[in-house]
Amino acid sequence: MSEAELKKLQSQIEAIQVELGKALYLEDLPLFDSLPPGYKKEDPEGKLDENDTSEGVQPFAKPFTHWRKGPKALTIAAPVKEPQVGAAVADVSWHPDSKRVLVCCQDGRVEIHDVFDNYKEYLITPPADGNKFHMACAFEPSVGDMFAVGGLDNLCTIYKPFEDETCGEEAVAHAVCSGHMGYVSDIGWLSPESVVTASGDTTCKLWDVETGKAKTTFYGHKGDACCLTTFEGDRNVFATGSVDHSVRVWDARVKGTFTAARFYVGSGVTAIKSLGPDVIGCCTDMVGMENGEGGHFTEHDAIGEARLLDIRCKQQLQFFRPESTQPVCFKHIEFSKSGRYMFLGSEDSWLFPFDVKTGEDYDPIRIQDKSERAQEKEDGAVGIAALEMSPDGTALCASVRGDYLTIFAS
């Protein structure tokens, strides 16, 4: 067989692998598992009756806005409600019961809210010295009896809020994981005994929850490791994204620089999220687009992108870019429970929904912050700080860098 024939055969095999990945993971499924009957993908006029209770669709007690007869946006009291604190939401994480939300704030405050009954269950107040600046938080996903927070203090701190009755300034950490030389950018749980962190020191570390000691350090990124995701049902594998334009998949059983898969995406990775056991979604920094003036590229003509990557065949399954002439930078990514729809959160507080199977984008949704601090900025555009789907797939929590959470619930 000649070299040309061999290359042709290889390209055919890769094409089959890509199509196989699409067939396995991109089924034609609804947005939410419990979506109200009568949902329509297209509703350009937006003529929906808020008082319509037919077909089992129950109205919410609070004002809401419609979007394609799917999710309904509810604005609830945010964890940082007092204007004198001046803090802002940094990250959120759902409890496994899909009812409570963990919220960490930039001033070091941590709270657990029952978002549907609208009351606060747990609080850790900022330290007096003010040396906390949280960037990431995560509930333990199997039982939810622990959570971890991390940020600019270079630490990953683990708490057991329902076992330890202390809270506020007296809250006692179950374990403090110290060893990173840079900020902790993201956190994920591999098991109730192990938590993994990504850091600005370019490394990732696997920690023992009971002792707070590092089990393994993972090297390989050439720049800040900005984001991390774990895979449902796999206690050993996780993936990270970095400003070095790469996505790397790691096996916790293998120490050092070994990566199970590696992708180069052409721009800095800002967020990643697993879709099933073998697929990763990632969004990247702005990519220059031709502006029609001699083919030059500028940041003002740039637009964000997202990709779907298959770690089995090491191929790109799908590519996403909004049909927008305005520059946009994506910072967060999330999938619906079924995996059919993807949501991208932008730096200018817009939420972009995409059809994962076709790559088609739908009308973006504006997430507004109604706090007093947001009024100082034009149109309250302060950027989406957190985006996460509930474990049961019935609610999407989004927050800008302000004092309110927005829950999209079916």
CATH number at residue 62: 2.130.10.10
CA 20 centroid distance within chain:
26
Among 76-85, 248-257, 350-359, the range scoring the smallest mean pLDDT is 76-85
The answer on pLDDT for 404 being more than 80 is no
How high does pLDDT run on average in the chain? 75
Q: What is the pLDDT of residue 283?
A: 92
Confidence of residue 12 (pLDDT cuts 50, 70, 90): confident
The answer on pLDDT for 295 being more than 80 is no
47-56 residue pLDDT tens = 334 444 333 3
Confidence of residue 78 (pLDDT cuts 50, 70, 90): very low
Among 137-151, 285-299, 304-318, the range scoring the smallest mean pLDDT is 285-299
DSSP 8-state class, residue 23? H
**How many independent structural domains does the chain possess?**
1
User: What is the rounded average pLDDT of the residues 254-267?
Assistant: 85
CA distance 69 to 157: 41
Amino acid at residue number 203: T
Among 57-71, 104-118, 239-253, 300-314, the range scoring the smallest mean pLDDT is 57-71
β-pairing verdict for 279-287 and 303-310: antiparallel
Q: What is the pLDDT of residue 128?
A: 65
The answer on pLDDT for 292 being more than 80 is no
133-156 residue pLDDT tens = 889 999 999 988 999 999 999 999
Could you tell me if 343 and 352 are in contact, meaning their C-beta atoms sit under 8 angstroms apart? yes
Q: What is the pLDDT of residue 382?
A: 67
The answer on pLDDT for 87 being more than 90 is no
Confidence of residue 159 (pLDDT cuts 50, 70, 90): very high
Count of C-beta atoms within a 10 Å radius of residue 300: 10
Cβ neighbors of 110 (< 8 A, separation 6 or more) are 102, 103, 104, 122, 123, 124, 134, 137, 147, 149, 159
Q: Which domain holds residue 212?
A: 3-409
CA distance 43 to 67: 8
Among 135-149, 184-198, 277-291, the range scoring the smallest mean pLDDT is 277-291
Cα 201 to Cα 69, 118, 154, 226: the distances in Å are 45, 38, 9, 10
CA distance 40 to 68: 6
Confidence of residue 200 (pLDDT cuts 50, 70, 90): very high
